[in-house]
Amino acid sequence: MTIKQNDIAVVWLKRDFRLRDHGALHQAITNHQQIVLLYVAENSLRKEAHSSERHYDFIKQSINDLNKQLVPFNAHILAVEGEVIPVLEKLNAKMKLTGLYSHIETGIGLTFQRDKEVRKWCKQNNVPWREERQQGVFRGMKNRKQWIQQWSALMNKEQLPFPQKNAFITNESLNTIAKNFTPLDLKTNSSPLVQPGGEQNAHRYMDSFFNGRYTTYQAHISKPDLARKTCSRLSPYLAFGNLSMRQVLQRTEAEKEQGKRSQGMRAFESRLRWQAHFIQKFEMECRMEFESINRGYHRLEKAINPTFINAWEKGLTGVPMVDAAMRCLVETGYLNFRMRALVVSFFVHQLWQPWQACSAFLAQQFLDFEPGIHFPQLQMQAGETGINTLRIYNPVKNGLTHDPNGSFTKKWIPELAELPDQLVHTPWEITAFEEEMYGFRLGDNYPKPIVDIDQRRKEASDLLWKMQKDPLVYQESKRILSRHTLARRKSNRSA
Ligand SMILES: Cc1cc2nc3c(=O)[nH]c(=O)nc-3n(C[C@H](O)[C@H](O)[C@H](O)COP(=O)(O)OP(=O)(O)OC[C@H]3O[C@@H](n4cnc5c(N)ncnc54)[C@H](O)[C@@H]3O)c2cc1C
């Protein structure tokens, strides 16, 4: 069946599952008579190493949420399985598309390549493709001279409203079209321990943050358990576009004007700026998906040790703070910044494994996987940028400081639940008498540390400090500073 309307555009949803402040949707509704909202669960992307069903459950929840919001319009999203070009091909054959709209995506190599193919297809089929900016990220920039001005101008622009006009293709017409495609099953198996997706949930989390949780943001930001409540938890909503950064920043400004001014609010606002800063870096140097931005570190030799990697992934390294964080991540999809940095530091320093060997596993676990933050952060934590202070986290010290009574650690490692607080972060210090007393045997109930953490820390530190003097590392550091930092940054060793 061919629908006899001559002006039908597709809004292709990728990581922008919202109806408010949505540039592509707004433009499509302004410019066309009828709109199809399309999501394609791409088989190729689903199989990619950094993807996981956890992300797809979040996407499905987001689609279900949008479908609820679309009920008054008698509309819903065409959510199908397959690949984008064949889907567009079929839609075009049925409906003669007059436009394609989407957001500009700073994704992985696979999505960038796909977008190039889509552009080619659009040209060949005379379907204009308009991409709208949803992040403060600018394509084609050579350096950061103008970045902050452009970012600020975008963030200060007025937000785009919830659709005012019903331009959506009706449910009845869409159901007929849908028969030509493999529908995406929108049922999810997501655990209640994982944050739920969707635009309305995103606003709920944002409200609860500004209505109270923010007050302890600064005090608890590094605590593995308390940070879960007092950090905003907006990251998956930003990563999958349930919220735009502009919405969050403008809300923050409005709350500050209402009197909510504090050190915590300032710290929160800086982090909102870091989001685009990191993504811009990745946009400008996307080879960071595969190799360290600083070419001086490509000579670093690290042999893959599958036993180490397996123990780290399973939370069985024998180092409680690391194991608790890893098990928590696998169950819940979230860790606060410090714990993310700590588990990566342990992997790349104490276990001396290449960051590339933990990248996919972590990305699958993190509900908020955002390539533009993930890859630069991994390299920063690995000490392979040459422009950041080398930080090798001490898991025992961090445990004692940030989980002093061991409640987080014991929750995720029940094997340690009977140990007294002073042994939770150093179970290897248990005496034979205490083993009897607590019914715990190191090596049986819980592993002995798989490495000597202090010795490995020193070895990694010595080697990496030495490398910072390498001429290529130094030359690359200068290049990175001039390309990726604001002109006023002078030092090449600041954090
Ligand atoms: C190895 C590693 C990998 C990371 N991968 C991701 C990722 O894939 N996606 C992601 O959103 N964040 C990532 N981060 C950054 C940070 O840990 C998370 O953004 C933060 O913990 C999310 O929790 P929140 O939303 O409660 O943060 P809040 O502290 O409430 O911050 C608000 C928002 O600011 C941004 N933000 C906060 N910290 C950072 C940061 N250090 N760098 C850039 N932006 C930041 C995020 O968008 C976040 O949602 C990573 C950090 C490390 C060390």
**Rounded mean pLDDT of 345-360?**
98
State whether 206 and 63 are in the same domain.
no
Ligand 1 atom nearest to 335, measured from its CA: 21
CATH number where 125 lies: 3.40.50.620
CATH number where 424 lies: 1.10.579.10
State whether 421 and 331 are in the same domain.
yes
Percent of the chain with pLDDT over 90: 94
Query: Does residue 471 lie in a domain region?
Result: yes
Q: How many domains does the chain have?
A: 3
pLDDT of 490 higher than 60: no
Query: Does residue 165 lie in a domain region?
Result: no
State whether 359 and 458 are in the same domain.
yes
Query: Does residue 234 lie in a domain region?
Result: yes
State whether 227 and 343 are in the same domain.
no
User: Ligand 1 centre from 284 Cα, in Å?
Assistant: 20
Query: Does residue 345 lie in a domain region?
Result: yes
Nearest residue by C-alpha to atom 53 in ligand 1: 341
- 491 pLDDT band, cuts 50/70/90, is very low
**Rounded mean pLDDT of 443-448?**
97
CATH number where 245 lies: 1.25.40.80
Residues 394-403 have pLDDT tens digits of 999 999 999 9
Q: Residue 427: left (phi > 0), alpha (psi -120 to 50), or beta?
A: alpha
Query: Does residue 412 lie in a domain region?
Result: yes
Query: Does residue 423 lie in a domain region?
Result: yes
d(CA 324, CA 402): 13
User: Ligand 1 centre from 337 Cα, in Å?
Assistant: 6
- 4 pLDDT band, cuts 50/70/90, is very low
Kindly state if the Cβ of 21 falls inside 6 Å of ligand 1: no
Indicate the average pLDDT of the chain.
95
State whether 356 and 272 are in the same domain.
no
pLDDT of 487 higher than 90: no
State whether 260 and 313 are in the same domain.
no
State whether 344 and 470 are in the same domain.
yes
Residues 207-243 have pLDDT tens digits of 999 999 999 999 999 999 999 999 999 999 999 999 9
Residues 418-427 have pLDDT tens digits of 999 999 999 9
Of 190, 195, 178, the C-alpha closest to 240 is 195
Please state the pTM of the whole predicted model.
Answer: 0.96
Integer distance in angstroms from the first to the last C-alpha of the chain? 60
Kindly state if the Cβ of 369 falls inside 6 Å of ligand 1: yes
Nearest residue by C-alpha to atom 31 in ligand 1: 271
Query: Does residue 492 lie in a domain region?
Result: no
- Model pLDDT, residue 488: 58
User: Ligand 1 centre from 186 Cα, in Å?
Assistant: 28
pLDDT of 1 higher than 60: no
- Model pLDDT, residue 5: 53
Q: Which strands form 78-82's sheet, in the order they lie side by side?
A: 129-132, 97-103, 8-13, 34-42, 78-82, 182-183
Query: Are the C-beta atoms of 370 and 107 separated by less than 8 Å?
Result: no
Give the domain range for residue 52: 8-135+173-183
State whether 451 and 377 are in the same domain.
yes
Cα-to-chain-centroid distance, residue 168: 30
Residue 422 host element (H or E): helix 421-424
Q: Return the half-sphere exposure (C-beta side, CA atoms, 13 A cut-off) of residue 296.
A: 23
State whether 264 and 353 are in the same domain.
no
State whether 361 and 237 are in the same domain.
no
**Residue where a domain terminates, one of 253, 284, 315:** 284
**Residue where a domain terminates, one of 226, 258, 284:** 284
**Residue where a domain terminates, one of 249, 284, 319:** 284
State whether 367 and 454 are in the same domain.
yes
State whether 66 and 91 are in the same domain.
yes
